[in-house]
Amino acid sequence: MQLIQASSFAASVDGLILLITGMVGFWFILANIVFFGLIWRFRAKPGVKSRYITGSEPHLKRWITIPHALVLVCDVFIIVGAMRVWYNIKQRLPEADATVRVIGQQWAWVFQYPGTDGTFDTADDFFTTDDLYVENGKTYHFQLQSRDVIHDFSVPVFRLKQDAVPGRTITGWFKPTRTGTFDIQCAEICGIGHGVMAGRIHVQDTAEHAAWIAGHSPAGAQTASAQ
């Protein structure tokens, strides 16, 4: 069963893992077939004396140099693929539609939303704990922080994983591509409660998310009560 892909970059991470598994797997199987084949072929036989081979003879050395060169060619494919995926996810920061602050602490996730003014630490900010609400198809920047020790913000269906380091604000991005409720898990051993430091991300469609914001933001709540 394949794990759901729910972000714009999930498929590229899976593709990279598949590429590496395929190339490494091919050489693993081939090397083992040759290895055990040679052991079988040159097994002890009555009346046949074993031969001492240094391995420096050119026709024998080729067994090392040719596969070695081919493996290096595979490495080029893997390095180029890895750099492209890394650049897209970690180096590049696409324009944000919205920003959310993600704060790890022993042992919960706190999510801070900037409210309608789009600015953090103002009167219309609001917070949730362990449940993050986002809109499908929008590009989000996250500002990842920690209140105590190193945590790691991991959303498996997004193929997103980023350490939270005390004293630093680490900015990253994601773009959900599928509505639903998915797991968030701290992926860095952060103390006795690490295993229960889980959360959920709710990827909502536009109408659902607008209704959620209206019901939760202080500004939205005021508007609702004034009507």
Do the beta carbons of residue 149 and residue 105 sit within 8 Å? Answer: no
Binding mask 155-194 for Cu ion (x = CB under 5 A): -------------------------------x---x----
Q: Which stretch, 45-53, 166-174, 196-204, 214-222, contacts Cu ion (CB under 5 A)?
A: 196-204
Q: In what side-by-side order are the strands of the sheet with 180-186?
A: 131-135, 198-204, 180-186, 151-155, 160-164
Of 3, 11, 9, 16, the closest CA to residue 173 belongs to: 9
User: Counting contacts by CB under 5 A, is residue 103 touching Cu ion?
Assistant: no
Q: 151 or 159: whose CB is closer to Cu ion?
A: 151
* Closest distance to Cu ion from the beta carbon of 110 (Å): 12
Query: Is the peptide bond preceding residue 107 cis, with omega within 30 degrees of 0?
Result: yes
Q: 130 or 208: whose CB is closer to Cu ion?
A: 130
Q: 198 or 221: whose CB is closer to Cu ion?
A: 198
Helix axes 206-216, 218-226, angle to 10 degrees: 80
Binding mask 116-155 for Cu ion (x = CB under 5 A): -----------------------------------x----
CA quadruple 129, 135, 136, 138: dihedral, nearest 10 = -120
